[in-house]
Amino acid sequence: MQIIKYPAKEQWEEILKRPSMDFASLFDKVKITLDNVRENGDKALTELTKEFDNVDITQFEVTNAEIEEAEKLVSLELKQAIEMARRNIWKFHSEQLNEFSEIQTSPGVYCWQKTVPIEKVGLYIPGGSAPLFSTVLMLGIPAQIAECKEVILCSPPDSNGKIHPAVLYAARVAGIHRIFKVGGAQAIAAMAYGTESIPKVYKIFGPGNQYVTAAKQLVSLNDVAIDMPAGPSEVEVIADETANPVYVASDLLSQAEHGPDSQAILVTTSEPLIEKVLEQIETQIEVLPRKEIARKSLNNSKIILVESIDEAISITNEYAPEHLIISTRSYMVVAEHIVNAGSVFLGHMSPESAGDYASGTNHTLPTNGFAKAYSGVNLDHYFKKITFQQLTPEGLTNLSNAIILMAENEGLQAHSNAVKLRLNMR
Amino acid sequence: MQIIKYPAKEQWEEILKRPSMDFASLFDKVKITLDNVRENGDKALTELTKEFDNVDITQFEVTNAEIEEAEKLVSLELKQAIEMARRNIWKFHSEQLNEFSEIQTSPGVYCWQKTVPIEKVGLYIPGGSAPLFSTVLMLGIPAQIAECKEVILCSPPDSNGKIHPAVLYAARVAGIHRIFKVGGAQAIAAMAYGTESIPKVYKIFGPGNQYVTAAKQLVSLNDVAIDMPAGPSEVEVIADETANPVYVASDLLSQAEHGPDSQAILVTTSEPLIEKVLEQIETQIEVLPRKEIARKSLNNSKIILVESIDEAISITNEYAPEHLIISTRSYMVVAEHIVNAGSVFLGHMSPESAGDYASGTNHTLPTNGFAKAYSGVNLDHYFKKITFQQLTPEGLTNLSNAIILMAENEGLQAHSNAVKLRLNMR
């Protein structure tokens, strides 16, 4: 890890710079895949699955029999763990339902907002080394609470043509309606355009590699909404002298094991803590199965020594971390000043892994500084809001002068006429 | 207008197809502008403003003196109209503030969500024939309610180097902090990257031509959030035999005068209404200053005769119109079944122009079928939500089995260790 002591404010931008993401450079390549699926449907999916996943698939939809088989393969303990996570995610996201009642903005002008679930949503769950069944819960449960009518899931098949049993089990728990064995940019294309087997959806959620990310960006330009732009995962820990270096090191390593491009940043007011954390990292990393990945990631990672907690807060709001762990004496006071972050973990007993799995908050969060403008996935992401207005003759009369004057000053005479004709004003 | 009688359901997709938008074809061109501004800052802005707006600008920020001068140029009547609109927009958007309180998802696991205003937002207001001061109100007032710290506005200067007085006046009314004379893709670049004069923002709102739209899409890939993807404006009217053809024609024309690519669609159960509406359009269009534009737009427009109101509802949810006017006997019953639309106008006395200016609802709405997944601009667009969690030792103990099992089953040992080390489990 790179150690930076007392950087001047002018250096912050450079220090906090993330590895640059340029998915646009993949667009040409990914566009060929998208166009192929758009034109050739299932035939293209079969070919691309053969090419990228080394398996022949012609029947993409996972059958009930396959799901029931998967259910038997998941241990009782893991099922109980999933149930605990499900319950907490459900509780936290249910609280996010909002009411909005009709208001009269002027006499006779009734306006309201209706929150309507997005009818068709698609979830993408990557394959690869780790079966991300926790992400199935995080993306599926809010869709269930929102009562989206059609929730589908795509995930790449392994070389035996199967999806990991824990993913299938979690999909059933989260009430996913249909599951398809297809991955990569071709899965995104299938959900954006529809094929013979896979229905078109209105919004696509979920993480993925750079091809999946590029594909999501491309289809979002014109065809379908996406959850948010995605980049490598990241954590920042703010720590003072009360922080436990064992815990801090374990949190930095939790992030580092995600992938070689993950970023872990420690911002501290305590110089003695730095050495202790580094020692702990060395001790703990040795026994990790993914230690090679973690080591690579730590090369991108930084420890920043600052003068004061105030400075730590400023640097944090500038960086806008996806995950923020506040391990300081007065962590609640610090938390009050955080305005740019995805999800915040307070105090010494709140590791990021609690939120990754089971506290109930969502783990799909804005990376790459997007926390300055984006929320993590929450119930809002599964709804859109429609506004309604109903005017009585009196209501239209009350607004008529304002509408007519504004429309005519904008050069829009027909807008004005729509009012005048209704009120016999011409 | 094209008249389609009793189309079969299989034909709907073809009938409802919008003119295709391909902003991606402009990307290469627009990217040159973006890169130029990113590298050369104000110097590039001056050159591009000279090229596209035919005016020399070196001081981009509008001064207080200029705003005060503009204020004198706006008539008292228009000021009163703007005040009425402002008050209604403020009322409607203020109602959208949401509360979310802390919950305990498991004993000792406290989770909450904090709604935080996006600190820096930028509004783009096009120049051209119509000064869109109403859009200044629609995009500025929610930012004011949200208490965004820095709200800036960019709009192209006219050939005298000025912005229309009504735009400047509305900006002051809406509490915009700083105003800059720059338009086009270069304005979007300036707000996305920052220049010497113009601060970088975190989210960009506002309509624009195809270059502005392409620029917004490009900067949204990696640098800054945007309000929503944009396409040509559109209205659908559902009408039965109780509809007044004079009003229906005036509403279709309100849409048609926006631009040659605007779409107006009438879906009706009443065959006799069609002839009457066409006659009324001919009568009303003659006196419109923008009749040439309206005629072009009507060429893209359609009248669809359907068997029943149920069919009209289905076709509407398939089309997902930006604006929907329901002029039927039982308009409230129809409204209950609408799930895909931007803003809905109910009954015979609620023209679209009411919502365009003064009812209080927002007029920045999803076009191009995006209403299937997107909301129109509302207060949420100016906030992001940060999740927080605080676990007591008991709380972490309660979750520990779930976290450890799930993390280890996902192959993420360090995630598990972050819990075990805290609970002395190894």
Query: Residue A189: CB partners within 8 Å, gap ≥ 6?
Result: A33, A34, A36, A37, A38, A215, A219
pLDDT of residue B236: 97
Q: CB distance A84–B348 less than 8 Å?
A: no
Compute the nearest-CA separation of A202 from chain B (Å). 6
pLDDT band at A96 (very low <50, low <70, confident <90, very high): confident
pLDDT surpasses 70 at A426: no
CATH class of A23-226: alpha beta
pLDDT band at B18 (very low <50, low <70, confident <90, very high): confident
User: Which ranges in A152-306 belong to alpha helices (H)?
Assistant: 165-173, 184-193, 210-220, 245-256, 271-285, 291-299
pLDDT (tens digit per residue) in B293-306 = 999 999 989 999 99
Residues linked to residue A117 through DSSP beta bridges, in sequence order: A383
The kind and range of the H/E element at B409 are helix B393-409
The kind and range of the H/E element at B115 are strand B109-117
What residue segments make up the domains of chain B, in order of their start? Answer: 23-226, 232-375, 392-424
pLDDT (tens digit per residue) in B19-76 = 777 777 788 899 999 999 999 999 999 999 999 999 999 999 999 999 999 999 999 9
Percent of chain B with pLDDT over 70: 100
Contact yes or no for B49/B55 (Cβ under 8 A): yes
Rounded to an integer, what distance in angstroms lies between the CA atom of residue A110 and that of residue A104? 5
Average pLDDT over residues A35-56: 95
pLDDT (tens digit per residue) in A122-167 = 999 998 767 899 999 999 999 999 999 999 999 999 999 999 999 9
Task: Report CA-CA distances (Å) from B9 to B5, B12, B307, B312, B336.
Answer: 12, 5, 11, 11, 22
Question: Least CA distance to A256: which residue of chain B?
Answer: B414
Rounded to an integer, what distance in angstroms lies between the CA atom of residue B204 and that of residue A186? 31
Rounded to an integer, what distance in angstroms lies between the CA atom of residue B376 and that of residue A302? 41
The kind and range of the H/E element at A359 are none
Angle, vertex CA A408, rays to CA A405 and CA A411, nearest 5: 150
Q: CB distance B373–A357 less than 8 Å?
A: no
pLDDT of residue B22: 73
Task: Report CA-CA distances (Å) from B228 to A115, A218, B233, B425.
Answer: 18, 15, 13, 48
The kind and range of the H/E element at A142 are helix A133-146
* Residues on chain B touching A403 (C-beta within 8 angstroms): 81, 353-354, 356-358
For residue A292, how far is the Cα from the chain centroid?
26
Average pLDDT over residues A166-188: 96
Residues of A forming the active site: 322-323
pLDDT surpasses 70 at B78: yes
Task: Give the active site residue among B323, B348, B363, B381.
Answer: B323
**What are the structure tokens assigned to B282, written together?**
């001919």
Q: B287-295: which pairs have CB atoms within 8 A and are 24 or more residues apart?
A: B287/A413, B288/A413, B288/A414, B288/A417, B288/B253, B288/B257, B289/A411, B289/A413, B290/A411, B290/A412, B290/A413, B290/A414, B290/B257, B291/B257, B293/B256, B293/B257, B293/B258, B293/B259, B293/B260, B294/A414, B294/B253, B294/B256, B294/B257, B295/B256
* Residues on chain B touching A415 (C-beta within 8 angstroms): 254, 257, 352-353, 356-357
Q: CB distance B399–A339 less than 8 Å?
A: no
Rounded to an integer, what distance in angstroms lies between the CA atom of residue B352 and that of residue B258? 12
Fill in the amino acid letter for B406. M
Q: CB distance A344–B375 less than 8 Å?
A: no
pLDDT of residue B426: 63
The candidate with the shortest Cα–Cα distance to A62, out of A208, A201, A172, is: A172
Rounded to an integer, what distance in angstroms lies between the CA atom of residue A268 and that of residue B183? 43
Question: Nearest CB to B380: which of A344, A380, A401?
Answer: A380
Average pLDDT over residues B246-267: 95
Mutation target among A23, A26, A113 for the B interface, most CBs of B within 10 A: A113
Q: Verify whether residue B275 is a known catalytic residue.
A: no
Average pLDDT over residues B149-173: 95
Our separate counts of H helices and E strands in chain A read 17, 14
Mutation target among A145, A334, A409 for the B interface, most CBs of B within 10 A: A409
Our separate counts of H helices and E strands in chain B read 17, 14
Same fold, A23-226 and A232-375: yes
Task: Give the active site residue among B234, B257, B311, B322.
Answer: B322
Task: Report CA-CA distances (Å) from A242 to A64, A247, A314, B22, B170.
Answer: 53, 11, 20, 56, 52
**φ, ψ (nearest 5 deg) of residue B322:** -60, -55
Rounded to an integer, what distance in angstroms lies between the CA atom of residue A97 and that of residue A85? 19
Fill in the amino acid letter for B339. V
The three-state secondary structure class of A362 is coil
For residue A415, how far is the Cα from the chain centroid?
41
Rounded to an integer, what distance in angstroms lies between the CA atom of residue B41 and that of residue B252? 43
Angle, vertex CA B160, rays to CA B197 and CA B157, nearest 5: 45
Query: Residue B383: CB partners within 8 Å, gap ≥ 6?
Result: A375, B115, B116, B117, B118, B146
Question: Nearest CB to A88: which of B92, B105, B288?
Answer: B105
Q: CB distance B246–A368 less than 8 Å?
A: no
pLDDT of residue B134: 96
pLDDT (tens digit per residue) in A149-158 = 999 999 999 9
pLDDT (tens digit per residue) in A224-251 = 999 998 889 999 999 999 999 999 999 9
pLDDT of residue A90: 87
The candidate with the shortest Cα–Cα distance to B59, out of B195, B217, B174, is: B195
The candidate with the shortest Cα–Cα distance to B140, out of B125, B129, B157, is: B125
DSSP result, B172-219: HHTT-SEEEE--HHHHHHHHHH--SSS---SEEE----HHHHHHHHHH
Task: Report which of residues B28 and A391 the model is more confident about.
Answer: A391
Rounded to an integer, what distance in angstroms lies between the CA atom of residue A234 and that of residue B355? 43
Contact yes or no for B70/B165 (Cβ under 8 A): yes
The three-state secondary structure class of A235 is strand
* Residues on chain B touching A390 (C-beta within 8 angstroms): 345-347, 350
Mutation target among B281, B399, B404, B408 for the A interface, most CBs of A within 10 A: B399
Torsion of CA A329, A332, A337, A339, to 10 degrees: 120
The CATH H-level (homologous superfamily) assignment of domain A232-375 is Nitrogenase molybdenum iron protein domain (3.40.50.1980)
pLDDT of residue B360: 95
Mean pLDDT taken over chain A = 94
Helix %, strand %, coil % for chain B, to 5? 45, 15, 35
* Residues on chain A touching B98 (C-beta within 8 angstroms): 98
Task: Report CA-CA distances (Å) from A100 to A35, A153, A386, B355, B423.
Answer: 42, 31, 11, 18, 44
Integer distance in angstroms from the first to the last C-alpha of chain B?
A: 76
**What are the structure tokens assigned to A69, written together?**
């088989």
Look up the ipTM and state it.
Answer: 0.94
